[in-house]
Amino acid sequence: MTREELRKKLSEIIHKKHPVPVYLIGGALGELQGCNAYEEETIREGMWRTKYLGVSYWFKGITDNEIIDRVTITKKAFMEIAKLMFPFGILFSKKIISVLPRIYRAEGGLKSKVLKLENFCPVCQELIRMGLKLAGENKPIIDLVYCFAMFLQFSSSYRVRVQDILGELDKDNFKKSALIEILRLKRISMGREKSEMKKMKFLWWLVFLVVFFKKRLAKRIVAELDIEKMKLDEADFYFCLRRSSYDFGGYQLATRLEIADKIDKEQGNLILGI
């Protein structure tokens, strides 16, 4: 699409002459002012994805407010349970595992909106593959695998943080000393974090305790994961460039904005600044 065609389409949208309703998505391109974008196309066959007007990259996901609301409620419930059980509740993990799937399966809850495997982004598909292999026939664990995949699928700010730090994971180091590797990753992550310090610090200590008490399981998980499929790819990284809450790839915001500007010029992207 040329710039002239883009301007024409935008004019149609503004004056409500476009044949198909086009939605303005808040924060589609990042967390800074002017990062809203219009949906140009969404695809729900195979991997769900969105094309934003003026942007060459496809975003891996679709903004579905009903699902996002259910994800948010479920995450909040899980977080409150984790806080109540922290730090020694991990010793009662079997009880926790019995409670969390029941929240996920509640009538009208998140499970009623779970995607098909092929609808998830590649990161979540890999998480599900690994989780199902380790879960075997354990239905509560299978439910939790899909639940956490839904969390990442519809919480892009957390998904890209997970992808970013997994790009730093050294499997050999984890195999030798899981706790030392977790602490190293925590230092990197917290050094890059700019807004969710308290929450992320809590989540990292939760991860540390899980690895401490469930070291064998943690090592199986890391050994099974295909880390290359979990990392940020070119398109993922593009949608991180205008996020001010975290220094993705270790790059500060000013550097990432320069990278974004260079990519936009090379690919002819037209950021509307809405």
As a three-state string, the secondary structure of 143-194 is HHHHHHHHHHHCCHHHHHHHHHHHCCCCHHHHHHCHHHHHHHHHHHHHHHEC
> pTM above the 0.95 mark?
no
Q: 50: part of which helix (H) or strand (E)? A: strand 49-52
Domain chopping of the chain, boundaries: 3-64+253-267, 65-230
CA–CA gap between residue 10 and residue 40 (Å, rounded): 10
| 10-residue stretch averages of pLDDT, the chain, 274 residues long | 67 60 88 94 96 95 96 94 73 71 93 97 98 95 96 97 97 96 98 95 92 93 96 98 98 98 94 85
Q: Alpha helices of 35-121 — where are they, by DSSP H?
A: 65-85, 93-105
- Which residues are registered as beta bridge partners of 51? 41, 58
Which DSSP category does 246 fall into?
Answer: B
**Which pLDDT score is estimated for 66?**
95
**Which pLDDT score is estimated for 22?**
75
Distances from the Cα of 176 to the Cαs of 156, 183, 214, in angstroms? 31, 14, 15
Structure tokens that stand for 64 in this block? 């579905």
**Which pLDDT score is estimated for 23?**
85
**Which pLDDT score is estimated for 234?**
97
3-state SS, residue 57: coil
